[in-house]
Every structure is written in structure tokens, then in C-alpha cells.
Amino acid sequence: MHELKHHYVRTNGIRMHVHEAGAGYPVVLCHGFPEIWYSWRHQLTALSDAGFRVIAPDQRGYGETGAPPKIEDYSLRNLVADLTGMLDELGIARCAIAGHDWGGIVAWGAAMMAPDRIEKVAGLNTPFLPRPPVKPTDLFRAMAGGKFHYILYFQEPGVAEAELEADVRRTLRGFYQDLAELKIEAGSNDPPGVLGPAGGGILDRLPDRPPGKFLTPEDFEVFVKAFERSGFRGPLNWYRNFDRNWEESAGLEYRVNQPALMICAERDPVLPPRMAAGMKASVPNLTRTIIIKDCGHWTQQEKPEEVNQALIEFLRS
């Protein structure tokens, strides 16, 4: 087992907190919302043991990484520039990248915006989607039809922060659930916490009960301490850049040409496998799409062995 080490690098105007393990071909792992580097703890061990240099940063606004004050500081261009600057500081010319949830958007974006730095890309739950014809928030409003939509709820600065930071333990208990089970309990086709009747906040739609079995009490405490320290404003600002990201991508060829892997979770109601259908048109070198059975949203934590095997096979191919 390789020793896990953490350190800090200066990149794109911020100090980034980075965890690393192993040596060999470099692989960058990008976490989602609301997580930190620790969501990749199982992969740091397995991939480093398989001969890779594994790098898992706290991304901008998360954990011990810097959190600039302006909303526009969290655009996708900045998130990708954070990673390329990190690679520069680490002396890495090219690497593979994998991302889960929001980290998947960053991973696909890095492959598209910095193709000379990214040689392979893997998405967990988050597919590479074509650029929409209209602003994303317009699509979300149409989807919501006047009901609650969590991304729209996140748009107003200060509102979601006040709810989520009032009791960080309660907030994270609500998020770190088996969302497929919650969907069944609700008796609704609306993913819990995502869509629902108008009014209220996101925690009104998520239960207050122990987190999923993929987290030990010690694991849960790592996340709690991280978000008690950082708060949620930085992470929420990622959501407030959907329209800006759309506008700034107008000149890009919306296509990922690198060898790619798509890992879907069978029972993720937020990012269901059907969203990955048709990816081959925009990702012509998509080598494989895997659907992990009996898995909810927190894929690399819920099913680490399956994820590790898929990533190692892809990286070695």
C-alpha cells in the first residue's frame, strides 16, 4: 500500500489542497457536490497499488482549497485552469482524468478545453452532453414547470447557504443517502431533493436519518469537519455559473476526442444511465459504457471495487 500524502500547490490564483498516492502514470480524480477529495479514498489506494500516480484535489471552494469571493470565479474555465495549473506545479505534462457528479462536468470540460493535457477521460454518473440551444436555467425552469428545482433554488446568493450551513451534520445526513430508496419511499417520479412541490428548501425534501452504509461514522466526520470549516458558498457558486459556462462555451467544438469511459449507476435518480445514451456522437472514442448494478448516486464510495476495476482496466488499455 502506498503512503497517502497531502500538500498544497499555487494554481490560478488560489492555494489548492491536494492528496496523492503512488507513482507512475498520473490520474486526476475530481469530486462532486457536496464532497471533497476524501470521496476518492478507495480509488487512491487501489489505483496507486495498481501502479498509477493518483491525485485527488479539494477543488475550488471545497475543503482546504481557496474559496474566492466572486460568483464568476467559479466558472468552468476557472475550474479547468485550476487543474492545468496544478499539473504545471506538479511537473505533469499529460494525464488521465476522472470525475464524479460535478467533477464529471469538470473532467469532460478539461478534456475539451485542454486536450493537450488530458489523454484519457472517465465520467462517473455524469455524461458528456451536447451544448443546449438555450440557457441552462431556461431549460431548468421549463423542466420544473413552476415546481421546486434545486438548481434554481441554488441561484439566489445567500438563500441555500443559510439553509445548508445552519446544521452541517443534518445537511450532510440528508445528502448522503441511498437516493433510490428515498425515491421509492416518496412514491413519486421526482428525484428527492431535485424536483417537487413549490416552496421550502432542499432539506425539506431530504430525510434526517443516518447516512448510507457506504460511510462509516469516521468517514462521515471527515466530511462534516470539512464543510463546517468551508461552508457551502463556494460549492453553490459552481451552480450559479451554468449560464456563464454556456455563454463561454459558444466558440468551442463541443466534442471530446480522447479515449473515454462512462460509468453509470443503475439506481441513481439524479443522473440516471439513460442520460448517457447517444454519447458516442460527441465522444467518438468512447470505449465502453458500464452500468454498475444496485448502485445509487455516490458511486465510487458505494461500489468501490467495481469502480476500481473499471478504471484500472481503462487506464491500462
Query: Distance (Å, rounded) from C-alpha 174 to C-alpha 211?
Result: 7
Strands 14-21 and 5-11: antiparallel
Question: Catalytic residue among 25, 74, 176, 239, which?
Answer: 239
What would you report as the CA-atom Rg of the chain, rounded to the nearest whole angstrom? 18
Query: Shortest CA distance to 33 belongs to which of 120, 106, 132?
Result: 106
Q: Where are the alpha helices (DSSP H) in the chain?
A: 41-49, 76-90, 102-113, 136-144, 150-153, 159-165, 168-175, 179-186, 217-230, 233-239, 242-248, 299-302, 304-316
Among residues 73, 101, 178, 268, the one annotated as catalytic is 101
**Active-site residue 297, yes or no?**
yes
Cell 455563454, located at residue: 247
Per-residue DSSP letter, 303: S
* Three-class SS state of 157: coil
17 tagged catalytic: no
Residue 91, beta-bridge partner list:
none
The residue written with cell numbers 431530504 in the block is: 206
Known active-site residue 268: no
Q: Is the peptide bond before 115 cis (omega within 30 degrees of 0)?
A: no
Residue given cell 441513481 in the structure block:
268
How buried is residue 198: exposed, middle or buried, by Cβ count under 10 Å (0-12/13-18/19+)? exposed
| Annotated catalytic residue within 19, 31, 149, 297 | 297
How far apart, in Å, are the Cα atoms of 141 and each of 193, 195, 199, 242?
Answer: 16, 11, 14, 13
Catalytic residues: 101, 239, 297
